[in-house]
Amino acid sequence: GENVEQHPSTLSVQEGDSAVIKCTYSDSASNYFPWYKQELGKRPQLIIDIRSNVGEKKDQRIAVTLNKTAKHFSLHITETQPEDSAVYFCAASTVGSQGNLIFGKGTKLSVKP
Amino acid sequence: GAGVSQTPSNKVTEKGKYVELRCDPISGHTALYWYRQSLGQGPEFLIYFQGTGAADDSGLPNDRFFAVRPEGSVSTLKIQRTERGDSAVYLCASSFGGPIEAFFGQGTRLTVV
């Protein structure tokens, strides 16, 4: 089955700096890669996703890149703000097959003002 | 409703007891997922429903865990003979189909004492 590894487990940056979180997956059939943000005590919220037919997707300060050959994908947050502080989870899935989302273990991002 | 609703929000039960956790998905969503999240970990897949049927139940840890979705909307996760190791936050997510844009509920925090 699919296995998703996520690094780093914790990340601390200064406000205004960029943050990068990286994930690798094992199943070459995976074709859908969402990222979720979870604030303390709250539900995971979808912030961006990418499908395997594109290499990059941007939404304001957030971008995700995908390298299918290397089986890794990354989340990039630019101009970080204190409200970006949260735990971020990557996930992988095979749309059209079993459909279950397999999550990484998460990255705790702290943005210091 | 406006979002995925889970009840109860908190449940404390004694070891060996039976519990039921309820999930009300977003109206019109045919796909429904159950996950378990332990402290400091990513969501762990349990079961995925497409309509009324379980499309994938490979994540259920043992036969004490069972889930139903009889009318293709509300789902109930049932845990028999609870153990202290079952303590976790149980998350439900729904989508229009498969893993694309799955939205999570707030979760049920289960504590087995």
Closest chain B C-alpha to A42 CA, distance in angstroms:
6
Whole-angstrom Cα distance, residue B91 to residue A26?
24
**Token match 């908190």: residue?**
B10
A103–B42 C-beta distance less than 8 A: yes
pLDDT one-digit tens code per residue, A52-102:
888 999 999 999 999 999 999 999 999 999 999 999 999 999 876 556 889
Nearest to A98 by CA among B57, B14, B92, B36: B57
Chain B residues within 8 A of A57 when measuring between CB atoms? none
pLDDT band at B99 (very low <50, low <70, confident <90, very high): confident
pLDDT one-digit tens code per residue, B54-98:
988 989 999 999 999 999 999 999 999 999 999 999 999 999 988
Cβ–Cβ pairs < 8 A, chains A and B: 72
B105–A100 C-beta distance less than 8 A: no
